[in-house]
Structure 1
Amino acid sequence: MASRFLLAAAGAVMLACCLQAAFVVLPGAQAPALRGARTQGDASFSSLGMTSVAATTAAFGVAAAVARSRKREAKTAAKYTTQTILPSLAWIKTGVKASELKNTELKALTLAGNDVLIGKTEAGALFCVGNLCPHIGTPMSEGADVIGDVIVCPLHGSSFKVTNGELIDWCVSPPIIGPLTGLIVEKKNLLVFECRQGGFLGSGEVEVLVDTNAKKAYEANYWKGLLDAQGKDDGTYY
């Protein structure tokens, strides 16, 4: 479409040039009739020149507007997907050595879009769990306690075993308020990630097994829900 307007603009320029050339008369070769009506001809020529310039400017303006429109369309092209994203597991290095972690110490990381929390139990066993509490998604790293092999959420006191994510207590604090907030969300276990120490005899940095497509899958599910809030008849999304 833009190329058609550009061709039209070029044609308008050529037409204007031809019209101007047709009205240019060389000195000494003027016909009597033209000499007699020189004033009127000059006025007509000037008017025609202004008209051709205006037409040329308008043609180029239209072509430029079309080009800008095409650029805007390219910038606002769809960037999302609603396809089903399958898991893709991979060992990701954390940049942290197990020897650098003290017992009960926690370190929050984001690995391939996954918010994880690596740490050690009181006995010194290495573990990796999801950093977001399954209650309302608050970061466990903001003050969580490690007691034995149990991690306690700092906000509402929910506790989970770091070995398998099993729920022990659900929203026990503060009194009354904690249990009430726990009623609005279904009880869930804490997400657990497999971890290991790389290098020779486990002397290297900690590695965590994560789904590298987790972020893409989350975004795809988000767009499915946003684009079709009604869903299918069976309650699922497209």
Structure 2
Amino acid sequence: MAWVKALPRENLEAGGRQVVKIGDRKILLVDLDGKICAVNNACPHLKLPLKKGKITPDGAIVCPFHRSAFDLCTGEVKTWSPFPPVVGNLLGKISAEKTLEVFPTRIESDSIWVDVAE
């Protein structure tokens, strides 16, 4: 696979988010101040869904389950598994720090396209 039409642009409102399925992947699309970011909807720590995660002012998404935070544009780790106290630190050590998978996006013909090439 390569570039795939994911969603009509009008279906992702300003500041909104939506999960789309492309092949076997669930991809979270986020409108971040007009820029469309596409990331794997599974946190790389415990593979839990990120859709309901908090978006921070600096453009990170925070896992709603254990509060690891990842940059939506680059996937880089901002915070690794700080929650719950004590247990989070142990879980963070069990699983090595991993970046969040990100996918290039573009707008074409009023649709959001995602490059999911492997």
CA distance in 1, matches of 2:84, 2:8: 34
What does residue 90 of structure 1 align with?
A: 2
- Report deviation, 1:101: 2.0
Q: What do residues 166-203 of structure 1 show as CA deviations (whole Å, max 9, x unaligned)?
A: 1010011222222221111011000000011111xxxx
Structure number with higher strand proportion: 2
- Partner of 1:151, secondary structure, is strand
What does residue 186 of structure 1 align with?
A: 96
Q: 8 Å contact 1:96–1:205 — kept in the other structure?
A: yes
What does residue 25 of structure 2 align with?
A: 114
Aligned residue identity for 2:112: V
Q: Sequence identity, in percent?
A: 29
- Partner of 1:182, secondary structure, is helix
- Partner of 1:178, secondary structure, is helix
* Structure label with greater radius of gyration: 1
Structure 1: unaligned runs, 5 residues or longer: 1-88, 215-238
Q: What do residues 96-116 of structure 1 show as CA deviations (whole Å, max 9, x unaligned)?
A: 31563221x221111022221
From 86, 91, 100, give the equivalent of 2:12. Answer: 100
What does residue 60 of structure 2 align with?
A: 150
Q: 8 Å contact 2:12–2:18 — kept in the other structure?
A: no
Normalising by the residue count of structure 2, what TM-score does the alignment of the two structures yield? Answer: 0.90
- Partner of 1:183, secondary structure, is helix
Q: 8 Å contact 1:159–1:168 — kept in the other structure?
A: yes
What does residue 206 of structure 1 align with?
A: 112
What does residue 43 of structure 2 align with?
A: 133
Q: 8 Å contact 1:132–1:140 — kept in the other structure?
A: yes
- Partner of 2:85, secondary structure, is coil
Structure 2: unaligned runs, 5 residues or longer: none
What does residue 160 of structure 1 align with?
A: 70
Q: Cα distance 1:173–1:107, how it changes in 2: closer, same or farther (>3 A)? A: same
Q: How many residues align?
A: 117
- Partner of 2:96, secondary structure, is coil
CA distance in 2, matches of 1:177, 1:98: 42
Runs of 4+ with deviation above 3 angstroms: none
Q: 8 Å contact 1:172–1:179 — kept in the other structure?
A: yes
CA distance in 1, matches of 2:39, 2:89: 23
Q: Cα distance 1:96–1:179, how it changes in 2: closer, same or farther (>3 A)? A: farther
Structure number with higher helix proportion: 1
- Report deviation, 1:120: 1.6
Q: Greater RCO between the two (CA within 8 Å, min separation 6)?
A: 2
- Partner of 2:91, secondary structure, is helix
